[in-house]
Structures are given as C-alpha cells and as structure tokens.
Structure 1
Amino acid sequence: FLTCLPILIAVILNASCGSDIQLSVGVIQFIFKAELAVLVSLNFYLWYTQFKRQNVYSDKYDGKIILLLSTAGMLLYTTFGLIAGSVIDDRGLSYIATFLILQKLLELFVVVCQTSLIIKAQNLHVQNLNPEPKYISADKMFYMFFLIRVIMWVADSYIGKNTQKIMPIETEVYGDKYWKTINDMLYPVTMFYLFHTSIDFYQLYKKYEGLYT
C-alpha cells in the first residue's frame, strides 16, 4: 500500500481539481510524507546498529557530487512550495496550505536524511559482521526504498505535466508565468533526484545483501 500511494495520488490529482479533492490529496500526501519520514529514520537506525558501529568509512562513492547537486535542487524546489504555503496560510485562504507546509517540512527532513544515509552507507567499508537480525534487516529496507523511489519517479513524471492543476497554491502565489519558469527549471532536477536515489538504494541493497554472520 505504501509504495502504491504515490500512484493513487497521481490518479486523484488528474481526476479532478476541485477544492475538496485538493484538500483530500493534501491530507493523503501529508500522511505519505509522514510515513516516509518514519521509514527513513528507521532505515538510518537499522543501518547504524547493524553495520556502522563495527566498521569505518573507507570506501569511495563516485556519485557523491551528483547526488549533492540534485539534492540541492530538490531542496530549493521544496522551499518554493514551503514559501507559497506560508504566504497563503498568512492570508487565511485555505486549509490546503497548512497541509502543504507540513508536507514540505517533512519532505525537507526526508531528503536531508536520505541523502546523508546514502553517502554514509556508500562510504562505509564493511568488514566486521553482525548476526542477521530476527525481524528487519537494513538491506531489505534499502530495497524497499528502491521500490518506493522508482514508483514515485514514475508517478511524479506523470502528474508533473500539469502544474496549474496539481500545484494551485504555488501557481496562485508566483503566478502562472513565473511558476511555470521555476517548475520547468527545477522539476526535472527533482525527477533526476528520484531516479538517482533509486539507483543508489539498489546499489546499497546489493552492497549490504547477506552481510551477516
């Protein structure tokens, strides 16, 4: 259900543009971003306890610069949405803005934590192994995030064609012309970030798969 939620959001967004639908979508997106925040925190904890404590950073990660640049673009794009939600919220015009602000704050948290996790996990050289955990292993979490990011990449590529419909608050605050310019410049960067991180998570899954005693 979690990995299919972005597709559900995409279908709803393209089905209608009424205010009630937009509010429902805002709530769904907030729940999804909250779930992502919990999962990325759990992934970080599992990786740290199962691998980081017994090993040191010595491996080289060649994709670090590209990841950091795409992360910067993702953070900038998210910040534009956060500012738009704050402006609308100050005017007292919409409950949608409140959920937009919460979404963007959670998204900033997820992006920062996720990028940090990828860089640290890629740089870690694993020599000392732990027994395989009884319930959840870090490599399985990496694979789950790989699936989530692939689905989000496909879904966001689909829904990103109509910015006025899926981003009414940003369009209202910045205006059609300026928001279209911002979106055309930064939205492809967010798509690249989703694609890049999905590949990174798959590489991490293969790197840590079976590294237990």
Structure 2
Amino acid sequence: MRIKTGRVAGISFLMASALLALSACGGRVGGGGGAGPGPASSFTIGGTTSGLSGSVVLQNNGGDELSISANGGFTFAAALTNSSSYAVTVLTQPAGQTCTVASGAGTVAGANITNIAVTCAANTFTVGGTVLGLSGSVVLRNNGGNDLTVSADGSFTFSAPVAQGSPYAVTVLTQPAGQSCSVANGTGTVAGANVGDVTVSCAANTFTVGGTISGLSGT
C-alpha cells in the first residue's frame, strides 16, 4: 500500500504543530500554563523593652502572647503578611510596675516591624495624712525634701508620689508660731497603695512659772 506524498507532509505538519503547542504549555498536557505564584512574603513584629524589673506579657492582635523578663529586643512568634494590621498591647503587667506601649499599632508595609517601644516604670503612690490642733502654719517634709506648708486642720498630701517598695519619712521642718507639732505613723515603706495614715498633732507651747522664795521661816 502506498501513501501519497501530500498526505505524509500534512501529517508531519500536524505533528510538528502539536509539539510546538505542547512546548508552549510547559510540556504538560492539560497544564495551567506553568507553576503558580509562590507563597506570600511574611514579616516579623517586634521592638524593644526598657525599664522592666519583672516579667511582662505582651500580645499582638489579641493573641500570639509573648512573655518578656529582660530589657532589650523582642519579636513575636507569628509573622504577618504584607498589608496586615498589627496591634501590640500589654496583657499582664509586671508586679509593682506599669508598662506602656508606643508605636504599637499599624500596618505591615513590606518590612519587619522593629520600632515598637515598651517602657516600664515602678508604680507610684501618694503620701499624706491628717493635721490636728493647728492654729498657724506648719511646714512638713517627706524624705528630706518635697516640703508642704499646711495652714489648717484636715487632710494633706505631698505633691511628689513615692515608688512602690520605697521608704517615706515625714517630719516637721518648721513649727507653727506658739505651737509644737509631732508626727505619728510618719515612716514606713510604700506597699502597693497610697499612704494616708500619717498624723500630725499640734498643741500650744506651754511654759512653767516659778521664782525664788527668800526669808521663809515656816510653811
């Protein structure tokens, strides 16, 4: 049986066209035009902690909790994709301290987030009490400074707070004219609450009256 030359040429042309089409599709029959896009890039969220003296627990976006026990850099475990939002907050404060977060919220913009600042400081509390029996003006002092002039009976509070765990010592710097004031409960250590039980009691100065007897021969 003889095959005509024209038919052979036509078959060869069709086979060549099919091979070219297969090559253009990446050599895969029924393929989707090559490999699909790779995984989206992800970026870390972190920053720096300063002033910490205990342990603080941070969280990002309401989860991904991170416990930190030393000052320095930190990074959350979960990375975020580009254009994702982040919001870093304090979940658990350290004992005796309060930590605040700066630059803690934003949107990932093609780079790791490293500028979140967590600053911690000791909790502070006021020191004060009550003055009784005062008829002039008395000057009180706490811890060798922070002077306070009081001119009437009633409550008083020093302007400078005292840090958690720190001592306080209230004394009388200047007595009122004609009176002497004494301090009760004036020393101690701040223990997680305002101090309000210092008592300053004032009273008029008293003096003895006396003299000399001479020439007495009886009682």
Pairwise same-fold verdict (TM > 0.5): no
TM-score range, shorter chain: under 0.3
Rg larger for? 2
TM-score by length of 1: 0.20
Of Structure 1 and Structure 2, the greater strand share is in 2
Of Structure 1 and Structure 2, the greater helix share is in 1
Larger RCO (CA under 8 A, 6+ residues apart): 1
TM-score by length of 2: 0.19
